[in-house]
Amino acid sequence: MPKRQDPKIRADSEARLAVLEALMSKPAIAGLAREVLGHLAGRGEKTWAAPRSEILTLCRALQAPQPYMAERFVAGLLEAGVPLERVYRQYLAEAARELGQQWDRSKISFSEVGLATARIHVILDSLRTRFPPAASGNPRRLAFAAVPGETHTLGVEMATDLFRREGWDVVHLVGLGHDAILEELEDVDIVLLGLSIASRGARAALARLVVALRVRRPDLRVVVSGKLALDDPSLMHGLGVDAVIEDVPQALSVVSALLGGTASRS
């Protein structure tokens, strides 16, 4: 395997798990891990199967004391010419399936599967940064939503109105639960999600949604605004969001910067 390592992954794996532990209870993290592993496992394809020995090696690397081992394994696959989609579907997906089975058989602990899930999350973030998706020929769309369970939606309404006035095609998602938001964001023309969060009680819902989106839509940009986000922006960045926005006017410049400065006129 190559020696090149991503220092961000080395530093962020345990940090990402610590953020989740600060935002969610252990049962909630366990549920999140099952959701992430289940979705990844569902992406596997049987047209070609990675050698089981390599899948087991990746599983061990995802649980290893050295935080760089899993990233080193994935980097080795890419440098050997393994296509990115195969890394997703035949390696990470199959490792997720194996970890889920080991957990169900009580062969690995909650802490081990939690750490492995956090490392998969960070690896997906890194791959998204290194290999951005090709631009679609269709107009790019934005989505604005309140975090599930959040009752303060004025900021979402204001942002939706402002961006529409500026010519953006905006999907307005208010009053939707976790699964409904994920379903709406299966639309690959939606390239950025703006989330609003004001109450501490919605922190676990935010963490669950951001992690699920990073697995389902690793190409999607995610920004967060609202009182809670502003009170602790470092926690938001530690969760893996792309930006924390202070107010609605600032949102225009931040979104334009994240998306290359091009509005998608409807």
Domain coordinates in residue numbering, the chain: 7-130, 141-258
**CATH among 1.20.1050.40, 3.90.550.10, 3.30.365.10, 3.40.50.280 for 141-258:** 3.40.50.280
pLDDT at 139: 67
Backbone angles phi, psi at 220, to 5 degrees: -75, 135
Residues 6+ apart with CB under 8 A from 158: 248
Contact 90, 38 (CB under 8 A): no
pLDDT at 119: 86
pLDDT at 6: 47
The pLDDT tens digits of the residues spanning 35-88 come to 888 888 776 666 678 899 999 999 999 998 887 889 899 999 999 999 888 888
What's the burial of 206, exposed, middle or buried (CB within 10 Å: 0-12/13-18/19+)? Answer: buried
pLDDT at 182: 93
What is the overall mean pLDDT for the chain?
83
| Stated pTM of the model | 0.77
Spell out, as residue ranges, where the chain has pLDDT lower than 50: 1-10, 265-266
CA-CA distances (angstroms) from residue 266 to 141, 163, 257? 9, 11, 19
